[in-house]
Amino acid sequence: MTIPGPNGAPTATTNAIAGGAFMAPVVLAGTISGGIHHHFPPPSTPATPRQLPRCAPHFTNRDTESAALDAARATGTSMMVLSGIAGVGTSALAAQWLHAQAPSADVQLYADLMHTAGRRPEAVLQRWLRALGVDRAPAQKADAVGLWRSLTTDRAVHVLLDGAVDAEQVRPLIPSGPRSLTVITSRKLLWELAVDGALVLPVNPLSRRDAVRLLCAAAGDPQAADDALLPGAEALAEACAHLPLPLVITGARVRARPGRRSFTFPARTAGSPPHLPQEHARMAITDALNVAYADLEPDAQRVYRTLGFLPARTVDADLAAAVCEVPPAVADWLLQVLHDERLLDVPGDSPEPRYRMNDAVRDHAKALDAGTEQEREAALRRLCDWMLTRARHAQRLVTSAQATLLNPGPATGGPFEDKAAALAWLDGQEEDLLPVLKAAESAGWDDLIVGVVDAWWPYFLHRHPYELWIDAHEFGVAAARRSGNAPALRQMLASGAIGLSAGGYITRAVQWYEEVLEGARTAGDTRDAGQALLGLGACHLESGQLDRARQRLEGAMSLWEACGYPRGVGLAEITLGEVCLAEANPTAAREHLASAHNRLTELGEAYEGARALALHGHARARSGETAEGIAELKLALETITGSPRWHARALEWLGEAHRHHGDTATARTCWSEAAGLHEGLGRSTDAARLRALVAGQ
């Protein structure tokens, strides 16, 4: 195509595609006879989330607690807090009762907060919003909460928050609709939630009779509660403090050893009072865990001990195989053994076979002898290397065109079939990233830290978890400083500054970019210096410092022209065009944007070229060439649909152009669609502004 310059003279362009490109079907032919049909699969509809964990197979009694929950629900209470000591069965009770409420639920969601005390509410909301069909969940807490409340206003959403730490962790996760229901489990009373109308229901250990019934049922011999073996069962139930968790674990061990006479285990804590303090309850759980551990085969014991001291909170067969140096099939079987013995849990929201240790079990495993310090360090290193290797493959697969400093080149083979699988793996490792980085820092593996953070670029780019993005780069920057690796330090600062800027931390982003610039100039690295100047220009534009933005961007263009980096020149020209538009100078903007479009299109950068074209069409419409601007905006929209933020911006500009052209109805349609995209991104301010335009305000 040809784009007119500022004086109307045509500017020739050349379209070229370098490398592999995959786009919509196109037929190129001199003559076509007959019909041509392209068939596309129907769009997939996300499944209705039903994330509750399954009901406990030997759930016993709790009639009093269930009746209290029923009565509260009947009076309109929509939030219940079940509190109790470790192992008392709050999670099982919550799941059992919520499953009974399933007919009135449109959606059932689950968050396992028990093992991740520092879990941020926004991380939970991002996962839930994706489950509800939001393609790109907002990373900022306020935006995520606002979108969550909007989506749950008219739905009956049933939520189980398992293992809450405090009231502030819970409040952002409560659905807003009047038909919704939230059940929270915690080791703390969380009385503060009573202010919000919650029923706070303490859950006590089972009665003697019910504890024996549960133990016998878990052991596969429910009749034993009524026969001569009852005294032995009573003693063992007392040793378990009448807590369901150790009762079920101990019963499972009895059942797994048919040659052993039932209930002949020694009752180490028999005679304990019925209401035990926390430390005595943990002792009872440890007693049951000791029995379970003693009957495991040696390989299962080794896996159990190893998982206890690893920083990873979730584990699958692939990870266990790498860390424990066993074949994947063996690792999978050993994890199933540990799960069958109730030493591992399966998270309710896990899409694949992944396991967790609850805190009591982890403490028990950690206290066991896990080998020498050298053996523990070797296992930790294998975990870190496993994460690095897979993250590097994900990076090469998902963002191969943006090869990072330490991870160049496209993917060739590896554990992931496609980009979706790679991103799904990164999703599953999200909560383990910082603990692994912290463990690597303690071990002094600075190069590994930089490599892991560098390889996680596709997750940061596609999921926008700004707080995690920044925290991870704090580790990376510190590691690069300690190692004295100047190029790695510039890489960590530059990629971290992008997250800081996108997250709204402009001042700090500028500081990091300035350090990159100083280091690049000292090293004579023109490429890095230009990248720092481009980032600084974008930050100054965001903060309204247009003169400083122009100075930085022109400096970046000059450097990149001198070193022969045309892609960088084109990117800088796009931002410079935005500066001109902010200065109300559409003529100058058109000049830069036409140049950027031509340059980037010639390089095969279809998406970046479309960004330049959208801005150029916006500038033309503002210059009075409304019809031409509309045409260019429509053409650009065909390419940038994969980016909701730029798609929304182009739709807003298209709506503005249609309004100037006198077509108010089409303008409102464009603004309404753009507002929906902004809402999906959590950009509530932009969405509200566009909704006001649709309403004619």
Q: What is the DSSP string of 28-53?
A: --S---S------PPPP-PPPPB-PP
* Bridge partners, residue 518, by sequence: none
Could you list the beta-strand ranges (E) of 254-395: 314-315, 355-356
Which residues in the chain land under pLDDT 50? 1-2, 13-24, 40, 117-118, 228, 261, 265-278, 280-281, 403, 411
| pLDDT at residue 294, rounded to an integer | 83
Helices and strands in the chain: count of H runs, count of E runs: 29, 9
Q: Cα dihedral sign for 471, 474, 479, 480?
A: positive
Q: Cα dihedral sign for 673, 679, 681, 684?
A: positive
140 CA to centre of own chain: 12
User: Which region holds residue 116: left if phi is over 0, alpha if psi is between -120 and 50, else beta?
Assistant: beta
User: Which region holds residue 241: left if phi is over 0, alpha if psi is between -120 and 50, else beta?
Assistant: left
Distance CA 206, CA 89 (A): 9
> How is residue 291 written in tokens?
């029995």
Distance CA 154, CA 140 (A): 23
| pLDDT at residue 478, rounded to an integer | 98
| pLDDT at residue 22, rounded to an integer | 41
Structural element, H or E, at residue 4: strand 3-4
- DSSP collapsed to 3 states, 149-161: HHHCCCCCEEEEE
CB 129 within 8 A of CB 153: no
CB 431 within 8 A of CB 116: yes
- DSSP collapsed to 3 states, 78-105: CEEEEECCCCCCHHHHHHHHHHHCHHHC
> How is residue 515 written in tokens?
């350090």
| pLDDT at residue 280, rounded to an integer | 45
How big, in percent rounded to 5, are the helix, strand and coil portions of the chain? Answer: 60, 5, 30
Q: What are phi and psi of 288, to 5 degrees?
A: -65, -40
Cα 496-497-501 angle, rounded to 5 deg: 125
CB 283 within 8 A of CB 272: no
Nearest C-alpha neighbor of 495 from the set 542, 551, 534, 454 = 454
How far the first Cα of the chain sits from its last, in Å, is 38
| pLDDT at residue 122, rounded to an integer | 87
> How is residue 141 written in tokens?
């807490």
CB-count exposure of residue 564 (10 Å: 0-12, 13-18, 19+): exposed
Residues 6+ apart with CB under 8 A from 577: 589, 590, 592, 593, 596, 612, 615, 616, 619
| pLDDT at residue 323, rounded to an integer | 97
Distance CA 230, CA 212 (A): 8
Nearest C-alpha neighbor of 411 from the set 100, 403, 130 = 403
Nearest C-alpha neighbor of 228 from the set 269, 254, 206, 261 = 261
CB-count exposure of residue 228 (10 Å: 0-12, 13-18, 19+): exposed
Distance CA 573, CA 553 (A): 8
- DSSP collapsed to 3 states, 357-421: CCHHHHHHHHHCCCCCHHHHHHHHHHHHHHHHHHHHHHHHHHCHHHCECCECCCCCCCCCCCHHH
The CA–CA distances, whole Å, from 685 to 144, 230, 681, 689 equal 13, 66, 11, 6
pTM tops 0.95? no
HSE-up of 672 (CA within 13 Å, CB side)?
9
Distance CA 352, CA 500 (A): 32
**How many Å is the maximal CA-CA distance in the chain?**
102
| pLDDT at residue 437, rounded to an integer | 97
> How is residue 584 written in tokens?
């109300």
Distance CA 515, CA 521 (A): 10
Distance CA 437, CA 312 (A): 10
3-class secondary-structure state, position 456:
coil
| pLDDT at residue 348, rounded to an integer | 59
The residue with tokens 């504890």 is: 211
Q: What is the 8-class DSSP label of residue 54?
A: P
Distance CA 153, CA 159 (A): 14
3-class secondary-structure state, position 162:
strand
| pLDDT at residue 356, rounded to an integer | 86
The residue with tokens 């800081």 is: 500
CB 624 within 8 A of CB 586: no
Structural element, H or E, at residue 562: helix 546-563
Residues 6+ apart with CB under 8 A from 430: 123, 459, 465, 468
CB-count exposure of residue 513 (10 Å: 0-12, 13-18, 19+): buried
Nearest C-alpha neighbor of 458 from the set 509, 498, 423 = 423
